[in-house]
Structure 1
Amino acid sequence: MKNVFVLLFVLSVQCVLAQPDSLFVKKPIKHDIKPKWTQSNKLGFDLSEVAFVNWNSGGSNSISALLGLTSNLGYKYKNFSWQSVGTLRYGINKQQGQEVRKTDDVIELVSNMGYRRDTLTNWFYSARFNFKTQLTNGYKYPETSKPISQFMAPGYLFLGGGVEYGKNIEKLSFYFSPMTFKSTFVLDEALSNAGSFGVTPAVFDADGNVIVQGQRIRTEMGILFTNSFETPVYENINLINRLSLYTDYINSFGNIDIDWEVLFNFKVNKYVKTSFGSHLIYDNDVKNLEATEVEGEYEKNGARIQWKQLLGVGVVVGF
C-alpha cells in the first residue's frame, strides 16, 4: 500500500500543477469589512430504467433511483474562514425477480475552520471535523437475513488540526494534519462481537457463548493528508477530485487507508445533469465478512479494495 500512497500523491500534485498559474500567484486581497455568511443547497434525483418486451436477446427489467441532498454553509471574516458541508445520499435498485436492493447510503458532515496571518499567504492554520455513517442495513446480496452493516455500524469520526494550502479553499485544497484522532463506531452487538471494521472481537467459550463482549469503539491517532479540487475541464463539464490518506501511529504505521473519489459532472441545462464517477476505498481494518449458518456469527476474510462506479442522469435543483 506504500506504493499506492506514493502514486496517488504524485497524481494529485500533477493535477494541481496542471491548473492555470493564476491559482498560485499571490495577490493582495482586501479584508472583509463585515462578517459574511453564505449558504447553498442542492437537491438531486437520478433515475434509470430498462424494460423489455419480447426482446429476442433476453434481458431483465430494472429500475434504479438515487436521491442526493447537499447543504453548504460558510462564514468569512478578515483572515478567518469556516466551511461546513452536509451530504445525504440514498439509492435503490429493483430488478425483475429480485427484492429491492440498496445501491448507495451515506450521511456525512464535514466542518473545516481556517486562519491565516495575512491576505498575501495561501497557508492556513486549520482544524477539521468529519463524521460519516449510513441510514439503513447493508447486506451481501442475495443474503438478506444477516446485515453486514447498519446505522453507526460503522460510523467514522475524524478530528484534528494541521495546515492547509489553498488560494480558494472551496475549490483547491491541500490539508496535512500530523495529529488526527479517528474513532470507528460499531454499535451493533453481532457485528462488534464479530470484530467488524477493525474493532476487537468478542471472546467465546468452547460452546460459543460470549465471555467478553466485542469492542464497540476503536480509537486511533495518526497522520491525515487530503487533497481536493474542482475545475472545469471543458464547456459544461466539471471535474471534482477528493483524496484522503490516513495512517495510524500505533497500529501498523505506514499502512495507508485510502478514500479516493473522482466525479465528472456534465451540465445539460439549468436543471438536467449527467454524472460519471469512481470511488475507491481501502482500509486494512475492514475485513470482508461472510455470514455463516449459525445465527449471529460471521466468517472474517482479508481486507479488500472497495470500488464503486457511478453513472446517472437526473435533475438538480438549487435553493
Structure 2
Amino acid sequence: MIATTLPDSITYWENNNKLGLDISEIAFVNWSVGGNNSVTILGKGEFSRNYSKGNLNWDNELLLKYGLNSQEGQVLRKTDDQIKFTSTFGYRKDTISHWYYSAKFNFNTQFSNGYAYPNTEDEISGPFSPAYIFLGVGSEYIRKDLGLNVYLSPLTNKTTLVLNHALADQGAFGVDPAIYDEEGNLLRKGKTSRTEIGILITNSFKRQIFKNIMLDHRISFYTDYINKFGNIDVDWQFQLDMTVNEYVRANIGLHIIYDDDIKATEEVGDEVVQVGPKIQLKQMLGLGLTYTF
C-alpha cells in the first residue's frame, strides 16, 4: 500500500498586489541663487490576477497612478494620473507551443481633470475624457520564463470616449467637433465617441537584469485601416525598479506617446492655442516605499 498526501487545495491562479508611495522634497533657506520650496507625492498600485492551466492562459492587470506637486506660490498641480486595465485570454493547441490564439481587452483613462498650467479654469482632459478602449483578436507569444510577451492583432476595435461635452465640442482627442452656423449658433453638438478598426501590436518585457534591478518595458503600435492607414500611434513605457530593501525602492521611468489625434497646445501671448500633434514625453525619477502582498 502506498500512502500519498494531496495538497489541501490546488489553484491555477497567480495573484500579485503592490502598493507604492514616492515622495520628493526640496527646501531652501537663504539660498542665494533662489528657488521655490516644493513637495511631490506619487501613489501607485499594481494588481494582477493570472490564470494558467494546460492550454488556457488568462492574464489580468490593473495599474493605478496619481501624483500631485505642491510648490510655493503656486496652486496644487497634478503630475501623474492613470487608470489602466488589461485582460488577455489565450488558447493554444498543445502545452508545448508558446503561441496562443488570443483576445485582448484594454481600458485606459484618468482620475481627475487635467489643465494646461497655469490655466486652471479650462480643463484639457478629465475622467473618461479621454478614455480608450481596445478590443481585438489575434495571436500571442508568451514566454513566462523570460518575462516576454508579444501580441499581434490584425483586427482590433479602438473606441475613444470624450464624455466632457465642452471638450467634445472642441473635437478633442479626434472626435468630431460641434458644428456652428455663420452667426455662431450651435447646429450639432460634438460627438462623444469615435470608433476605429485597425492593427494592434504590443510587446512587453519584464525581468531582473541585474541584482536588485528589474526592467519593465511595454510598447504598443496601432494604425487604423480607414483613417490615415500607416499613421502609427505609439505608446512606450520604460522603467527600472531598483530594490534597496524589502520596502524601499528607487525607480527611473520614461513614457513616450505619439497620437495624431491628440493636438498639442502652446501659449501665444495670453492665450493657449491648439497646434498639431507632437511627441509627448514624461520622465520620472523617484524614491519611495513599496508594499507587496
TM normalised by structure 1 equals: 0.85
Residue of structure 1 aligned with 2:44, choices 36, 46, 68: 68
Distance 1:255 1:270 in 2: 44
Amino acid at match of 1:315: L
Residue of structure 2 in register with 1:255 after alignment: 231
Residue of structure 2 aligned with 1:91, choices 67, 70, 75: 67
Residue of structure 2 aligned with 1:166, choices 129, 142, 148: 142
Higher strand fraction (1 or 2): 2
Instruction: Say which is worse superposed, 170-179 or 211-220, in terms of deviation.
Output: 170-179
Say if 1:247 and 1:257, in contact at 8 Å, map to a contact too: yes
Aligned: 1:302 with 2:276: yes
Residue of structure 2 in register with 1:52 after alignment: 28
User: Can you give the 5+ residue segments of structure 1 that lack an aligned partner in the other structure?
Assistant: 1-32
Residue of structure 2 in register with 1:237 after alignment: 213
Amino acid at match of 1:259: D
In the TM superposition, what whole-angstrom CA distance separates every residue of 1:117-136 from its partner, at most 9, and x where no partner exists? Answer: 11111111111000010010
Identity of aligned residues (%): 48
Amino acid at match of 1:301: V
- Shift in Å at residue 233 of structure 1? 2.0
Residue of structure 2 in register with 1:314 after alignment: 288
Residue of structure 2 aligned with 1:206, choices 170, 182, 186: 182
Say if 1:35 and 1:76, in contact at 8 Å, map to a contact too: no
Instruction: Say which is worse superposed, 163-172 or 90-99, in terms of deviation.
Output: 163-172
- Shift in Å at residue 298 of structure 1? 7.8
- Shift in Å at residue 34 of structure 1? 5.7
Distance 1:193 1:291 in 2: 21
SS at 1:191's partner residue?
helix
Amino acid at match of 1:63: V
Amino acid at match of 1:318: T
Distance 1:102 1:48 in 2: 14
Residue of structure 2 aligned with 1:285, choices 261, 275, 288: 261
TM normalised by structure 2 equals: 0.93
Alignment of 1:143-162 (within 5 A): 143-162=119-138
Q: How many residues align?
A: 284
Distance 2:46 2:237 in 1: 16
Instruction: Say which is worse superposed, 232-241 or 33-42, in terms of deviation.
Output: 33-42
Residue of structure 2 in register with 1:125 after alignment: 101
User: Can you give the 5+ residue segments of structure 2 that lack an aligned partner in the other structure?
Assistant: 1-8
Say if 2:146 and 2:207, in contact at 8 Å, map to a contact too: no
Distance 1:41 1:264 in 2: 18
- Shift in Å at residue 169 of structure 1? 8.2
Aligned-pair RMSD on alpha carbons?
A: 1.9
Say if 2:165 and 2:190, in contact at 8 Å, map to a contact too: yes
